[in-house]
Amino acid sequence: MHDILEQLSICVERGKVDIKSPFPADMKGREGADELTRKAIENKIPASKILNDALMTGMQRIGEKFGQGKAFIPDLLIAAKAMNAAMEHLKPFFESGEAKHKGKIIMGTVSGDLHDIGKNIVKMVLKGSGWDVIDLGVDVSSQKFIDALAEHPGSYVGLSALLTTTMLHMQDTTQVIKDTYPGTKVFVGGAPLSQEFCDKIGADGYFRDPQSFAKYLSGIVQ
Amino acid sequence: MDILSKKYNPGVNELTIDLKRVEHEMGYTENNITDDFRNILNKLYHDALKYIHPCVVFSIYPPGTASASRGEVSLNKIDFKTGKIISGQLKKMDSVAIFALTIGSEFDKWSKGFFETGDPLAAYIADLIGSEFAESLADWLEERIAETAEKNNLGHSNRYSPGYCGWSVSEQHKLFSLLENDCGIKLTETALMQPIKSVSGIIGLGKDIIKKEYQCNICDIEFCYKRQIDQNKKVKNET
């Protein structure tokens, strides 16, 4: 592996965004994901190699630590921030088709609910894991999900809710999606949810944290 | 005794939050937070103080105006369908305090702004800090209500809010209609409060009412997040 790719994977894993970033303290003053990705491109390393051998590797390592209870949500978020700084440089390669997202997922907080922190965290982690995320925002009606699916056919759907009252809207939204676009996979998440609730409303999966969702999605597209 | 309505704007320095609890919410349950994250938390905590503008309003209704039974709390001819859990806890009350409070809209703008500038970590931690301050403000308010109750030789209950313990959040519109002052909290069509770091609810008052700490065993709501937090703690302790 190129030394630069190894360094880049460490920057993502540790959340070293750029040279100005004071975190992590032991990497202060060193180049971060931003500078190293630019360098890798200048060194003619293919975008797909940068993505798979450095960025994804870094995210995978921090994801494994999270799964083992050795890292926490802040570690995932700072890694995702570094990953996204790198992804900015890869944008033209995604547009040209030289690099590819793992797939597309439409996300939103369901109708009646204005809480977006959980949904935004999941969005950052999924983007950091190589997914193209279409964020519909908060208080999203069933119709908006249907319209987004018409625009982005074949996408997965992620529904978020924070309240015991608004999570009930997930059932209607899931039903409308399944009736209109049979076969669409609908996933749910949020503080008051459980696997039992997911089963009850006919959704395809419940995940209690962003990493387990990202890991599951990566598994089904392999 | 007439309806006693009050509005306060306590200084943020009158509120205290335990940053250890925020660390706990971040996942660091065993004092294992790194210096990097502790520094970020401390910086955000100090920055947050500039954006928090607490406001509380409450109205205490006179004795004999409120009652609770069979899943309902009645106040001034308005019936709240609180569910049996809350009405059961309040059955000995004969008066009630209704309240609403917020840490203000500037905090919302500040904390949400981190997502817009691509800093989800700061947004996440700022959100946790805001929740702690809202809870701290609710504790502050409860103390004021308890003081007033004590002066009238009344006890007070725990506080209960729409959206919890089976009380539908949609009843928030009724609750707000009974408040005589306001802190600029707006309700959406679906009865959610804006600014988002706001709390509303009721506290039962009466000679025979006592405050009981919140316990999951009084409640049978299967999917409540508080129950899940308790279960998660149990799982963590067992593994």
CATH code for position A78: 1.10.1240.10
Chain A residues in contact with B115 by the CB 8 A cut-off are 116, 120
**A180-186 mean pLDDT:** 97
The whole domain housing A36 covers 3-96
pLDDT at B30: 78
Mark whether A53 and A135 lie in a shared domain: no
Residue type, B236: K
A96, A130, A156: which is the final residue of a domain? A96
Given an 8 Å threshold on Cβ–Cβ distance, is B124 in contact with A112?
A: no
Nearest to A24 among B36, B119, B194 (CB): B36
E strand or H helix that includes residue B60: strand B55-60
B125-B126-B131 Cα angle (round to 5): 100
How many other C-beta atoms can be found within 10 angstroms of the C-beta atom of residue B146? 17
Range from A78-87, A121-130, B206-215 carrying the lowest mean pLDDT: B206-215
**Chain A contact set for B185 (CB, 8 A):** none
Fold of B4-238: NADH Oxidase (3.40.109)
Are the beta carbons of A208 and A192 closer than 8 angstroms? no
Block means of pLDDT (10 residues each) for chain B, 239 residues, are: 89 94 89 90 97 96 88 89 89 92 97 88 95 96 93 91 85 91 89 93 90 65 55 49
A66 vs B contacts (CB less than 8 Å): none
Residue A17 has pLDDT above 90, yes or no: yes
Cβ atoms < 10 Å from Cβ of A92? 12
> Do A109 and A30 share a structural domain?
no
A197 and A147 part of one domain:
yes
% of chain A beyond a pLDDT of 90: 70
pLDDT score for A18 = 96
Whether residue B170 lies within 8 A of chain A, CB to CB, comes out as yes
User: Do residue A53 and residue A124 come from a single domain?
Assistant: no
Domain ranges of chain B: 4-238
Residues of B in contact with A193 (CB under 8 A): 223
Give me the residues paired with residue A108 across strands: A159
Does one domain contain both A29 and A133? no
Residue at which a domain ends, from A52, A69, A96: A96
ipTM above 0.95, yes or no: no
Of A96, A123, A157, the position where a domain reaches its end is: A96
Q: Are A18 and A53 in a shared domain?
A: yes
Determine whether the interchain pair B120/A25 forms a contact, defined as Cβ–Cβ distance below 8 Å: no
Residue B236: predicted pLDDT? 47
Q: Check whether residue A111 and residue A215 sit in a common domain.
A: yes
Q: Which two tokens stand for residue B123?
A: 């947004």
When comparing pLDDT for B182 and A150, which is higher?
A150
Tell me the shortest Cα–Cα distance from A197 to chain B, in angstroms.
Answer: 8
Is B121 near chain A, with CB under 8 Å? yes
According to the model, what pLDDT value does residue B239 have? Answer: 42
Total structural domains within chain A: 2
Using pLDDT thresholds of 50, 70 and 90, give the confidence band for residue A220. Answer: confident
